[in-house]
Structures are given as structure tokens and as C-alpha cells.
Structure 1
Amino acid sequence: MSDESSPLPRRAFLKGTLATTMLSTTAELARTAEAASKAAADSPIVQENARPGADDWQLTRVRVDGAGFRSPWIEGYCSKQSVTVGESIDVMVSCDPARRFRLELFRMGYYGGKGARLVKSFGPLEATTQPTPKPGEKNLHECNWDSSLTIDIPEDWLSGVYIGRLTTIPEAGEAYWQSHIVFVVRDDRPADILFQVSDNTWQAYNPWPNNYSVYTHPQGTQGPWADVSFDRPYAREAQHHSVVDDPRTVGSGEFLPFEFPLAYWLEQHGYDVSYCSNSDMLTPDRGLKCKAFISVGHDEYWDIRQFQSVQTMRDEGVNLLFLSGNSICWVTPFRESSSGTPNRIMFRGGPYGGEQSHAVTRHEEHGPFPHRGPDEGLLIGARNVRPVNGGGDWAITKPEHWIFKGTGVKVGDTIPGLVGWEYHGNPAEIEGLEVVAGGTAWQSGVNPQNWTATIYSGPKGNFVFNAATIFWSQGLSTPPGHVLPWSHWSRPHGPDPRVQQITHNLLRRAIDNKKV
């Protein structure tokens, strides 16, 4: 049917209107990106990404055992979650059967679209078959393997996420096999943006060696029963059956599927970004030197000291961007390893949420827990809800808000599939808090739950934004080595100029403290 007031058929008219809106958004995005790049011309990130990228850094030949978790043919882990220049880190490697191997170490970034830069190669080195630990108290698996090599961090290694590729050197007639290791190089410089990787959550879900995570204790999947150690390899990405089906994640935690698209995009546009692990946020000192703090991806497990640190940062004027979902869900106390290394063992100590119903119910159904965290909504703006997982479209409710400048969006416009794997809802009672997007997430068409993206002002002209979805980064970029995740028969579509422009707007306001 034609629209009588228009010389064009209605469908063609709407199509043309949408195309015009998208062209306008793309033009605004280009202007914003150009301005950001020019402003950051002297950034160490810009200088780093001008260096040659690697053509070959991904895993090529991957083999996992019959259970689908580990790669005993070659696997390894690092002695620390993060390290700074001038320090060293040990890498523990096991091969079954014993083999020589080589390690290529890459810094992850943009690098002209290649996604990584080779910083150093090691080998050939010798690897023995190191023992699989027997389950300890609370099903703890702590490897205590011998070190295969020690890496001294030189002065010119910029803060970032560093992924190593372990490759066996085959004997005659054999195939080679590969897996990853991962760690963060941190620094202490004043930076515009602090990017916190969600490695506590990587470890909580890590099923190495054979389905042993905080979710697999016989007493229950949601209680405080299991301990997990960072002294073990990361198995294949723990959500692979339901969210990410990509064996190339073996050894790299959840960085590649959920966090790399943000790091790649930030470095592509020259943002001055520094990186840290969850365990680096036990005091607010690092964050107070930055203008913006980003929680990314699946950021579920926080030591209570992390919560207190980020709360202090907000109160002191740091802008907080929760480009994440299911964030600050479980109190996760750290303790030292059996060898005395700090912050190497953790467990699910209890729910965040204070007296909110989702916390009270979890405590009653899955406890008793030794801890109850404060209401996370009073920090992040919205809360963990039940059900907390599902998929949906990210629907705009307040298009006049400054975060949408240059996007051309209207009330009810949607970004398909951007909500998932888990999300936030139930906005907190904070004066001036605004719901900028919201809608319904579904578990394969059932169990509907409302989600809400929120923003509120901090006490010193800063702000706290909550995108309310693990999948936000999927709308920014699709770097090499990345596979789009999915959730409950719903999936994001990849880069979207509206997500990119919203993120530029947020970062411009955070960094320049100017209205956009």
C-alpha cells in the first residue's frame, strides 16, 4: 500500500529515511573519530599502534580432550595476573607427550587492523608432562608446576593485554598443536582511560582440567562450595556450549570473545588507554590517576575491595563506564596461593545486592554464604536481576540525551541482539538517574525479564554509565580472531555506527569534561 502523501511507496520512503539517518550517523561518527585521533596524536597508544602488526598470531591447530575442556598436548599458565615493567613473570608449560615448544608473545591492539604485534619469541624450549593436581579441599585444583621460562618485562612494553601462542615442535611425521597464555602488563601513569579486564570471571568459569569451576561442585552450582586457583591453565572458553563456540579461545580466558573488540576499537581511534586486572583494583590508587574507568564484558566476580575502590573513584570524580553485564554480582574474596603468592585463589563468597530481593533470595537458596555485598545498583545504576541471562534488542527510550548526539536515533529504535549474554535491570533509586534504553530480554522466547541502561551524575561533574549488556563491545568492532557470541537463539550483529558514536560521546565527555 502506498502512502498517499508521498510520491514514493511507503516502504521505499521508510527505507530512504533510514538510509539518510544512517548516513548522517556515519558522517558524525567520522567527524568524532577524526577529532579523537587528532587529539590523541601524541598518545603512547598511537605510537605503539604505528609499529608493524603481526600477520600470524591466532591459533591455527587446536586440539581439546574428549571432555572438550583442556589441551593436554600443550597448555600453560602464568605466575601472575598482571606485571609491570622491570618485573618478571614465569610461564609454566606442560606437554603430553613431552615435547620441545616455542612461545610467541603478542601485545593485543589495533596495529593497522591486524590486531596484535609480536613483541618477542622464545625457543625452542623443553616441556615435560607436568602433573594434573588431585582435587584439594573445596575441589581446588592448584598446579604448582615447574617454571618453563621467565620473562623479564622491558621498559618499552606498553601496558596492554599480552597473549602468548604456545606451539609444540613436532617430531618426524607428527602434527603440531597450539594453545594460549594470557597476562596484563600494567603501568602507573596518568592515562585517560583505565581498561579493567574481567579475569576474575574468566577464572570463576574456567573448567580446567575436567569441569572444575565455581559452578561444578556437587553441593550446588551457585553456592560458596568451590575454590578456584589462577595457578592452572585456562581451558577452552567456559561458555562455549551456549555462547561462544570457538576452540581458538583455549588458554586466553574470555578476553577474545568479550573484551578484545573494545581494546581493538579504543586503540584504533588512538584513545589513551592503560590496562589492569581485577586484582589490581583492590585499592583505588591506579584508578584515581585516570579520567575514565571501564568495566568490560562479563565482569561478574569482584572482591569487596574492588567495589570500595571504584566507589571511591566515583566520589573523587572519575567517570565510570560499565560496558558490561552481570557486573558486580558475587563477592569474591582473594587469598594467597599455597606458595604464598597473593591473590591467586578465590571463591564465591556471597551475593552483592544488600537487601534487594535478588540478593536475599540467592542467599536463602544457595547459602549460607559468609559475605553479603552492598547494593551494586547504587554504584552501577542498575542491578542484577533474575533471570539474569537471555537475549534481546537494545531499545532507545531517551533519544534526546547527550549520549545519543549524532546518532539520529528516535524513541523505540533498536540495535538488534545487543542485549545478552547477561544484563542489568531494576534501576537504582539515585537522584537524577535516567533510563536511556530499556526493553525485554528473553530466554529462547520464554522467561521475559526487563533490562535497563542507565546514566547518572557523580558528585564532581563526572558520570556513571551502565550499558547493561555483556555484548556492548560487539557493536564496536570485529577484530581478527574474534567470533560473534550468541545467547538463547539471539545474537548481536557486529559493529554498529550508533554503538560506536554513543561510546565516542561518552569518552569525549569523560576525557575532555565538555558537553558533546
Structure 2
Amino acid sequence: MGAAQIRRWESGALAHAVSDPFGQGPLPWLRGSEQYFDDTGQVVPWYADETYARGGTGGPRSADDVRRQIKGFASSGAVAPGEAIDFHVTVNPPQEFSLDIYRIGHYAGEGASKIITSPRVSGIVQPAPLTADRTVSCHNWWQSSRLQVPDYWPIGAYVAVLTTLDGYRSHIPFTVRDSHPADLLLLLPDITWQAYNLYPEDGHTGASLYHAWDEEGRLLGEEDAATTVSFERPYAGAGLPLHVGHAYDFIRWAERYGYDLAYADARDLHAGRVDPTRYRGLIFPGHDEYWSVPMRRTVEQARDHGTSLVFLSANTMYWQVELSPSPSGEPDRLLSCRKRRGPGRPALWREVDRPEQQLLGIQYAGRVPEPHPLVVRNADHWLWEATGAGEGDELPGLVAGEADRYFPRTALPEHESRILLAHSPYRDSEGATRFQETSLYRAPSGALVFASGTFAWSPALDRPGHVDPRIQRATANLLDRICKRD
């Protein structure tokens, strides 16, 4: 397969479509007079879908990793107001590009708000990425632009949208965090995002913790993938992480209803830049599969201090990882996970005798090839109050992507009370019947710990075509109780 034939949907996005049917989700800055169409000819509103990824008509053209029309990454994943963030960008052919900064939020249904447009920046062709043992790094790229974040900017999830003069577009996500008190701390899973990043998806160089390429440009599996990946590189394809949509779905919904949110990312949690005990609850809004030892220790301490935990996806805290400095000494720039390869301890939390269930109350059970209904259990519980959901009711499509369940032979965390709020049959890839479960327990500290056990929970809050008012109300019941410390 020649380089020119490598396309986004033939690599990372396709490989993970079965595990994340929701993917990147709506991109509000693509809204406009253009229409987007799916494979059946149906109009798709403001989506970056497979048609768009394949170069379909409508809107700006998405950059790719073969021609590298425009690609970039940020010097750090999160900054505080008053700090600076550097963007490293390559442009081919060399030309000027614009840099528009958007903040994710509800914004009367728009989904994001443009904060600033920078003066045009001169773009250059940066050096080829450096590779060593399948680790790809672009730390040799020159700085293209520096953004001094004003003190008055609101904290939140941001995206830098890069557009060349000839109409190619790419993205750089980043977070503006702050230490001001808030009811809830939202943690963006940038460590898991990077684990899935196959940049560059060029049929030759790129590697993630899941995939790499052979000499003929064929996509290889986990046994041949990288064991260390770098944060100093763009995200593959259009520049947004594969699973970013889950977090953005929750943010739009939560900001619409006025929840008091602070923002940080997983590396902030790892490095101790945020104190979770200052908040009434921690929100993990999306697929959050890769956790370091300091992350877990800090979150367990927060729970034991009385801070509630809300896990809105499935397959959380599955792999244990380590973060290390870049060759230049910048901290937390390299992410390592041996999976089951090489010497040393296994990398699954459950195989180092610390199963996820001991924090979450449930743990990963497997993939869900086709969406199934979520079956309500214990409908008289306050979580389901005023949702209209009755015992045994089926919420269509709410078990999807991946699923968690309770493992009876695995120890539960210490708890004052515990309840399962869904018990949903689904068929796995072999056709066998499995079960998904949704869990809630109250720790001895009084903290509530909720785990949805499915990928479909956050999309049901604010994803066009996936909204479920019962999930919206149940989530509000949970967060309201946490914010009131009931």
C-alpha cells in the first residue's frame, strides 16, 4: 500500500470504531451553510464523520498525516490564566495560516465560542519526526506561535483551530485550568487520548500503544505497537483525539445547566498540580483507560476525604502507566505502558492485585459490538427520581462501545451502601450473552462513587441524535446531590 493510499479511516479511527462508536463528535466550528452527508446520503449536522474524514465535500478540507498540509501540537496540555502556551506547527507547502481559539461550552446550542483570532502566522515545513523504538516525537520542531493566556479568560476546554491560506484545517486541544474553588473538578483524559494517538498515520512511521506499521504499510496490532509514546507530537488526522467527543458532550450539557466547574487534565492530577480534596466531586467525563500510580493514589485519597467521584464512561483505569521526562528534561512528556510485554510487573491494574473495582465499584467486562438497551434496575432509587424510568425499562442504545460489570470474586471498596442501577444483557463478538452494570456506592467518608459502565452515557447528555432525557435527569440528580453534599 503506497503512502498516498493511507487514509484516516483505514488506520486508527477504523481500528477503534468498534470500541468507540461516538468518537470525536460534533465540531461546532464546522457549522455553517455547508451540509455533510453520511454513506447513505443522509444529512449529518455539524459532524466530523467518516465521509468528512474521507475527504468528502463540504467545508474546509481536513489535513492528513501523509501530506501534512498543517499539523501542530501544544507545549503543554494545560495552562493557567496568565501563563503562556507555545504552538509548534508544520505547514506544507509553506504559507501563512490563521489560528482561531475556541472554548467548548453550550453557548446557546452553538457548542463552542470563538475567543480570539490571531494575526496570520508564517508557516514552515518542520523537520521529520524523530523515531526511536517506535516512539515518535516532534520535540525537534521550532516554536511557531506563543499564546499568552489573559487573566480574564474563563477556565475550560479549548481548541486551537489552524487553517492554511489554501483551506486546510487541523486542531490542537488544550485546557485552561485554575485553582479557584468550584463545586466540581472536570478531568480531561489526555493520557488516554495520547495512548490512542497513531500520529503520523502515514503508513510508515506512526505508532500508538495499539498500532504501528510494517514495511509494506500494513497496520500491526498491540504486540508490535509502541510501549512508549510522546506528548510532543500532533494528534493524528484532523488533530483531535479519537475519544474527545465524550468530554465535550458532558461539558456542553453541564455548562448549559450552570454547574460550577473547574478544569484540569490527567497529567495535572498525576503531577499534583490540582488538589482534588478542594472539590465536592471529580468528574471523569470520557474514556479514561490509562492511569498512573500517583493518579490513583490521589483520587483514592480524595474519596477518603469526602470528595465524590463520577465516572461517566467504561473501561476506566484499566492499564497502569508511567510518565517520564522528555530527552530535554521536560516533565511528563513520555507515556509508557508495557502492556503484557517485556520484563517487570504486568501493566493491568487487576493483575497487580489492585483491581479497578476496588475504586469504581465495577470494572471492565468487554466490548459491545452493537448498541444494546440499558435496562433500569432499582428504579425507586433517587438517581432515577423524576426520570420517568421504571423498573426493567430499556433505554435504547445506552450500552455501547465497551461495558463494565460487577465481578463477584473481586473485592469491593469499603462502603456504607452500594447499589446497582442497571443490569443490561448484550451480546459479545462471539454471540454470547454478557451483562453491563451501572454502580453507585457511598464510601465511609460520605463520598458518592458513581460508574456508568458504558461509553454511551456522556453522548446521551448532549450529542445530537443520542440525547436521552432520562440520562440527563439521572445525571442531574447525581450532581445536584454531590454539590449539596447530601
| TM-score range relative to shorter protein | 0.7 to 0.9
Aligned to 2:269: 281
What is the letter of the counterpart of residue 469 of structure 2? P
Q: Which has the higher helix share?
A: 1
Structure 1 residue 387: Cα displacement:
4.9
Decide whether aligned partners of structure 1 residues 460 and 389 sit closer, same or farther in structure 2, where only a CA change above 3 A counts: farther
What is the letter of the counterpart of residue 88 of structure 2? M
Q: Is the 8 A contact 1:107 1:117 kept in 2?
A: yes
> Identity rate of aligned residues, in percent?
31
Instruction: Kindly indicate whether residue 195 of structure 2 is the aligned counterpart of residue 215 of structure 1.
Output: no
Distance in 2 of aligned mates of 1:284 and 1:440: 41
Distance in 1 of aligned mates of 2:210 and 2:90: 26
Structure 1 residue 449: Cα displacement:
2.6
Equivalent positions of 1:102-121 (< 5 A) are: 102-121=98-117
Q: Is the 8 A contact 2:78 2:174 kept in 1?
A: yes
* Corresponding residue to 1:509 among 478, 481, 486: 481
Instruction: Kindly indicate whether residue 376 of structure 2 is the aligned counterpart of residue 381 of structure 1.
Output: no
Aligned to 1:196: 187
Q: Is the 8 A contact 2:88 2:145 kept in 1?
A: yes
What is the letter of the counterpart of residue 62 of structure 1? R
Q: Is the 8 A contact 2:315 2:403 kept in 1?
A: yes
What is the letter of the counterpart of residue 263 of structure 1? I
Distance in 1 of aligned mates of 2:326 and 2:189: 20
Structure 1 residue 448: Cα displacement:
3.6
Q: Is the 8 A contact 2:196 2:242 kept in 1?
A: no
Decide whether aligned partners of structure 1 residues 419 and 55 sit closer, same or farther in structure 2, where only a CA change above 3 A counts: closer
Q: What TM-score, normalized to structure 1?
A: 0.75
* Corresponding residue to 2:153 among 129, 153, 157: 157
Decide whether aligned partners of structure 1 residues 70 and 143 sit closer, same or farther in structure 2, where only a CA change above 3 A counts: farther
Instruction: Kindly indicate whether residue 344 of structure 2 is the aligned counterpart of residue 331 of structure 1.
Output: no
Decide whether aligned partners of structure 1 residues 378 and 467 sit closer, same or farther in structure 2, where only a CA change above 3 A counts: same
Q: Which has the higher strand share?
A: 2
Aligned to 1:144: 140
Equivalent positions of 1:65-104 (< 5 A) are: 65=64, 72-104=68-100
Aligned to 2:62: 63
CA displacement, residues 204-252 of structure 1 (integer Å, 9 cap, x when unaligned): 111111241111257950688521111111113xxxxxxxxxxxxx212
Secondary structure, counterpart of 1:310 in structure 2: helix
Q: Is the 8 A contact 2:72 2:88 kept in 1?
A: yes
Q: What TM-score, normalized to structure 2?
A: 0.80
Secondary structure, counterpart of 2:96 in structure 1: strand
Secondary structure, counterpart of 2:462 in structure 1: coil
Instruction: Kindly indicate whether residue 311 of structure 2 is the aligned counterpart of residue 322 of structure 1.
Output: yes
Decide whether aligned partners of structure 1 residues 260 and 225 sit closer, same or farther in structure 2, where only a CA change above 3 A counts: closer
Q: Is the 8 A contact 1:477 1:494 kept in 2?
A: yes
Distance in 2 of aligned mates of 1:447 and 1:77: 43
* Corresponding residue to 1:454 among 431, 436, 439: 439
Distance in 1 of aligned mates of 2:267 and 2:471: 29
Aligned to 1:231: 232
Aligned to 2:279: 290
Q: Is the 8 A contact 1:84 1:185 kept in 2?
A: yes
Structure 1 residue 163: Cα displacement:
0.5
Q: Is the 8 A contact 1:223 1:348 kept in 2?
A: no
Aligned to 2:253: 265
Structure 1 residue 142: Cα displacement:
3.7
Distance in 1 of aligned mates of 2:182 and 2:242: 24
Backbone CA RMSD of aligned residues: 2.4
Aligned to 2:453: 468
Q: Is the 8 A contact 2:368 2:428 kept in 1?
A: no
5+ long unaligned stretches in structure 2: 1-27, 33-45, 49-58, 215-219
Structure 1 residue 157: Cα displacement:
1.1
* Corresponding residue to 2:406 among 426, 431, 434: 426
Distance in 2 of aligned mates of 1:453 and 1:415: 13
Aligned to 1:442: 427
Aligned to 2:23: none
Decide whether aligned partners of structure 1 residues 338 and 390 sit closer, same or farther in structure 2, where only a CA change above 3 A counts: farther
What is the letter of the counterpart of residue 269 of structure 1? Y
CA displacement, residues 422-453 of structure 1 (integer Å, 9 cap, x when unaligned): 12113453453211102223346724432211
What is the letter of the counterpart of residue 510 of structure 1? I
5+ long unaligned stretches in structure 1: 1-52, 171-175, 237-249, 351-362, 480-492
What is the letter of the counterpart of residue 156 of structure 1? Y
Instruction: Kindly indicate whether residue 366 of structure 2 is the aligned counterpart of residue 407 of structure 1.
Output: no
Distance in 2 of aligned mates of 1:389 and 1:88: 43
Structure 1 residue 393: Cα displacement:
1.6
CA displacement, residues 285-311 of structure 1 (integer Å, 9 cap, x when unaligned): 421111111112211111111111111
CA displacement, residues 411-431 of structure 1 (integer Å, 9 cap, x when unaligned): 211111112211211345345
Say which one has the larger Rg. 1
Distance in 2 of aligned mates of 1:109 and 1:318: 25
Distance in 1 of aligned mates of 2:163 and 2:456: 31
CA displacement, residues 35-74 of structure 1 (integer Å, 9 cap, x when unaligned): xxxxxxxxxxxxxxxxxx9896988312354xxx566101
Q: Is the 8 A contact 1:74 1:167 kept in 2?
A: yes
Aligned to 1:417: 397
Of 141-150 and 131-140, deviating more is 131-140
Q: Is the 8 A contact 1:160 1:186 kept in 2?
A: yes
Q: Is the 8 A contact 2:136 2:233 kept in 1?
A: no
Distance in 2 of aligned mates of 1:55 and 1:327: 31
Q: Is the 8 A contact 2:460 2:466 kept in 1?
A: yes
Distance in 2 of aligned mates of 1:61 and 1:369: 47
Distance in 1 of aligned mates of 2:67 and 2:292: 30
Aligned to 2:217: none
Decide whether aligned partners of structure 1 residues 71 and 310 sit closer, same or farther in structure 2, where only a CA change above 3 A counts: farther
Q: Is the 8 A contact 1:190 1:289 kept in 2?
A: yes
What is the letter of the counterpart of residue 63 of structure 1? S
Q: Is the 8 A contact 1:161 1:183 kept in 2?
A: yes
CA displacement, residues 101-160 of structure 1 (integer Å, 9 cap, x when unaligned): 010001111111112122211121111111221421343334421000111111011110
Decide whether aligned partners of structure 1 residues 230 and 54 sit closer, same or farther in structure 2, where only a CA change above 3 A counts: closer
Distance in 2 of aligned mates of 1:388 and 1:313: 32
Secondary structure, counterpart of 2:403 in structure 1: coil
